[in-house]
Structure 1
Amino acid sequence: MIAEAVRRVDALRRYVELKVLAGALVVVGCVWAFFGLAGEMLEGETHAFDSFVLLSLRNSGDLADPVGPLWVEEMARDFTALGGIAIVTFVTLAVCGLLWLMKKGRTMLFVAAAVIGGAIVSSSFKALFDRPRPDLVPHGVEVFSASFPSGHSMLSAVTYLTLATVFASTQAERPVKIYVMALAAFVAIAVGMSRVYLGVHWPTDVAAGWTAGAAWAIGCWTVARYLQHRGGIEPAPREVG
């Protein structure tokens, strides 16, 4: 009986360590992709592609008019708001409140620190690269900061993916985990696409925001798994389904 328990614990330890290693490898890949995009952008290699995509999303006779009916443009503004600081802050506080009610205070603090840290990294990258906003087409919404990487894209990926991965780790049912992760990925993708459609970001800004945000979120998930295994935060329930 004791030998069987030891065997199961050892198998669980190897499983967790394998997940942590896989997460670390994905983070490295995302970081490599981000700095690859940054290098190409700084050398001007992405300008032709960026310009082609932006112009292809506008009516050739009126660059102030995005392609598609007016309701599509309005929907893009709705989606882009999901990556704004006000909505992101509200969603983070809402999830932290839920974790508190679930008596997962250490997980709540980890989530808050992860999202705040991601926001600081996003702002730091913007200040570092200081890329001008697109000037090929009129902007569909007001903007106030530098262009690379897209803050809305990175912040939405950081926030929604981090919240989803950490929250999913508190759930036992696999369908719930998949649903939460898919929903978070959809929101992050929709926010990024809306920024290009509204003409306030080059496509490579958005791609860089996605890769940096995904690297941060997966890195946070990797740390969370490690802390759960070590007892630093509340342990994950045994997965079912």
Structure 2
Amino acid sequence: MRARLRLNETVPLLSLGLIGLFGWGFVTLAGEVLDGETFGFDRAILLALRMPGDLSNPIGPSWMEESARDITGLGGHVILTLITVSALAYLVMTGRRHAAMLVLVAIGGGMILSALLKLGFDRPRPDLVPHGARVYTASFPSGHAMLSAATYLTLGALLARVHAERAVKLFFLGVAVALTILIGASRVYLGVHWPSDVLAGWCGGAAWAGFCQYVALLLQRKGKVEPPAIGSAAGAAVTTP
């Protein structure tokens, strides 16, 4: 019981710490971008990922560029919407309507926040190298990086809380983090984002996901949101106040 109490005290504090850390990272990057201090860093990385003498050709074999396009699609609005709708349908069918609403607010809110930030900063896309994918919006922050962080980290945390086994928890969280990193990295590799766009997207998405998880913990303690695993020992072990 003491271990459970310590866990219930530590997790919210850890969530707040991560929110502050990633929020600070986003604000710092945004300030440096506005002042033009990231251009040298951005330029060096973009050029390092291109073949010398042929900036239209990314480094590595041809299959790597095609793989990057496949990976970057996992952070697109269509794929993220399909994943979100599937998760919502699962939660509703298993009687967790309040949890479904929280997931909808977390992911939908992340999409709205990303769009507003892009409109506010209105940073042009990189023009140093040809783009390896079509783009339609402003550059900062990276929508793919931010939305993949908000979506996959939110769902990864939800799945992790369903299971009591630490190895399973780490697996779900590890997959969520790996997907987020790969999607963001693919945007830089394809030349459609400055590296600072992606870093800011990761920070913004992680801060937003952390905030939503913190709210979920508070609401679960008050009984306003269903525990991740209703009636299971795993859910009770994690959510018992």
8 Å Cα contact 2:4-2:237 kept in structure 1:
no
**3-state SS of the aligned residue for 2:55?**
strand
Residue identity opposite 1:228 in structure 2: Q
Deviates more, 1:55-64 or 1:166-175: 166-175
Deviates more, 1:201-210 or 1:19-28: 19-28
Q: How far does the alpha carbon of each residue in 1:168-187 deviate from its partner, in whole angstroms, 9 at most, with x for none?
A: 22333332221111111111
Look up the match of 2:57. Answer: 65
**3-state SS of the aligned residue for 2:162?**
coil
TM-score (normalised: structure 1): 0.91
Structure number with larger C-alpha Rg: 1
1:216-227 map, 5 Å: 216-227=208-219
**3-state SS of the aligned residue for 2:192?**
coil
Look up the match of 2:236. Answer: 238
Q: For structure 2, which runs of at least 5 residues remain unmatched after alignment?
A: 229-234
Aligned equivalents of 2:139 and 2:114: distance in 1? Answer: 11
Distance 1:11 1:185, change over 3 A: closer
Residue identity opposite 2:165 in structure 1: E
- 1:78 equivalent to 2:70? Answer yes
Offset of residue 91 of structure 1: 0.5
- 1:172 equivalent to 2:164? Answer yes
TM-score (normalised: structure 2): 0.91
1:3-42 map, 5 Å: 8=1, 12=4, 15-42=7-34
Aligned equivalents of 2:8 and 2:86: distance in 1? Answer: 29
Distance 1:111 1:81, change over 3 A: same
1:1-241 map, 5 Å: 8=1, 12=4, 15-236=7-228, 237-239=235-237
- Provide the aligned C-alpha RMSD in A: 1.6
Identical-residue share of aligned pairs (%):
49
Aligned equivalents of 1:144 and 1:21: distance in 2? Answer: 39
Q: How far does the alpha carbon of each residue in 1:86-135 deviate from its partner, in whole angstroms, 9 at most, with x for none?
A: 00000111111222232222111111111000111111111111110000
Distance 1:219 1:70, change over 3 A: same
8 Å Cα contact 1:24-1:222 kept in structure 2:
yes
Q: For structure 1, which runs of at least 5 residues remain unmatched after alignment?
A: 1-7
Offset of residue 16 of structure 1: 2.0
Offset of residue 223 of structure 1: 1.2
Residue identity opposite 1:18 in structure 2: T
| Number of residue pairs the alignment of both structures matches | 232
Offset of residue 238 of structure 1: 3.4
**3-state SS of the aligned residue for 2:236?**
coil
Aligned equivalents of 1:235 and 1:211: distance in 2? Answer: 27
Deviates more, 1:98-107 or 1:68-77: 98-107
Residue identity opposite 1:108 in structure 2: A
8 Å Cα contact 1:229-1:235 kept in structure 2:
no
**3-state SS of the aligned residue for 1:63?**
strand
Deviates more, 1:141-150 or 1:101-110: 101-110
8 Å Cα contact 2:15-2:214 kept in structure 1:
yes
